Amino acid sequence: MKKSVINLGILFILVICSGQLLAQTSYKLKTIVIDAGHGGKDPGCSGKFSKEKHVALAVSLELGRIIKENLPGVKVIYTRKTDTFIELHERANIANKNNADLFISIHCNAGPHYFRGSETYAMGLHKTRGNLDVAIRENESILQEENYLDNYEGFDPSSTEGYILFSLMQNAYLANSLNIANKIELQFKNRINRHSRGVKQAGFLVLWKTSMPSILVELGFLTNEKEEIFLNNKKNQVYLASGIYRAIKVYKQELEQIGQE
């Protein structure tokens, strides 16, 4: 355990240094990886008539279409474009191999039937039991993987202690991650009239090994009857994707303006 903590500390320092270098040399938002949560044998959470994997894919594809149409200089890469199962660590690998400047993972939430609204997460130490519960539920996808103990260095998605260690991994990109997360929630609240549950932090494996600003968007609760209807409406899916796009556009403008100063 002591050796793993030491190794994690060294890695944390390297990540911080790489993050500082990124802040000094990169001011262009050239590549965005859009990750539709779950897929294939992993349905995610379910409502009365729909599954998370389908809603996440529909909004992800719509988001990519809008970005390509309105930001032609930005390359869009999907972790999946069909109903297929992609391991969580491979989703991060896709972003890293393509030198992505932003990673956005799209999901739907689950909870008591009266819970409603969107949440956008950055990688970090959970501050409430609710945040941890969301991370545990989303991280259970690794149980569908054959070699998950090797892929995630022995991490147990049901163990609260493990979350404390790997939450440090994204600290180098935390400021930018929180920035874009806040912009998305503002768009949902002010432009789409969605109930926003705010910007939060928790330990999501899909964000763990990404080497760029990364966020996870919970569009709403499939376990809420009204929200499930809303989330499955094609027009509303376009609204949600448009809200995320507008947040990205403002974030991109701010980032590139800093580079010109």
Question: Tens digits of per-residue pLDDT, 118-146?
Answer: 999 998 765 556 556 766 667 677 677 77
β-strand 196-202 against 102-109: which pairing, if any?
Answer: unpaired
CB atoms within 10 A of CB 41: 11
More confident residue, 159 or 128: 159
Q: Report the alpha-carbon distance of residue 85 to residue 41 in Å, rounded.
A: 6
Domain at 45-260: CATH code: 3.40.630.40
Q: Which residue has the higher pLDDT, 246 or 255?
A: 246
Per the CB < 8 A criterion, the answer to whether 108 and 219 are in contact is: yes
User: By mean pLDDT, which of 77-91, 201-215, 220-234 is the weakest?
Assistant: 201-215
Q: CB–CB of 127/201 below 8 Å? A: yes
In the predicted model, what is the mean pLDDT of residues 78-93?
Answer: 95
Q: What pLDDT does residue 60 have?
A: 98
Residue 52: pLDDT above 80?
Answer: yes
As a whole number, mean pLDDT of residues 207-226 equals 94
Read off φ and ψ for residue 96, nearest 5 degrees: -65, -45
Query: Predicted confidence band at 74 (pLDDT cuts at 50, 70, 90)?
Result: very high
Which comes out higher in pLDDT, residue 261 or 98? 98
The first and second tokens of residue 117, run together, are 């609204």
Closest CA to 177 of 37, 52, 23: 23
What is the pLDDT, as a whole number, of residue 50? 98
pTM for this predicted structure:
0.81
Residue 15's pLDDT is 43
- Give the lowest-confidence range in 56-65, 96-105, 165-174, 222-231: 165-174
Tokens encoding 171: 């600290």
Q: What is the pLDDT of residue 206?
A: 86
Buried b (16+ CB within 10 A) or exposed e, 157-174: beeeebbebbbbbbbbbb
Handedness of CA 51, 55, 60, 65 (dihedral sign): positive
- The answer to whether 105 touches 214, Cβ cutoff 8 Å, is yes
Residue 209 pLDDT grade (very low, low, confident, very high; cuts 50, 70, 90):
confident
CB-based burial label for 87 (10 Å; 0-12, 13-18, 19+): buried
- Per-residue model confidence (pLDDT) at position 174: 87
Give residue 258's pLDDT: 73
pLDDT of residue 22: 43
Residue 190 has pLDDT above 60, yes or no: yes
- Residue 197 is predicted with a pLDDT of 97
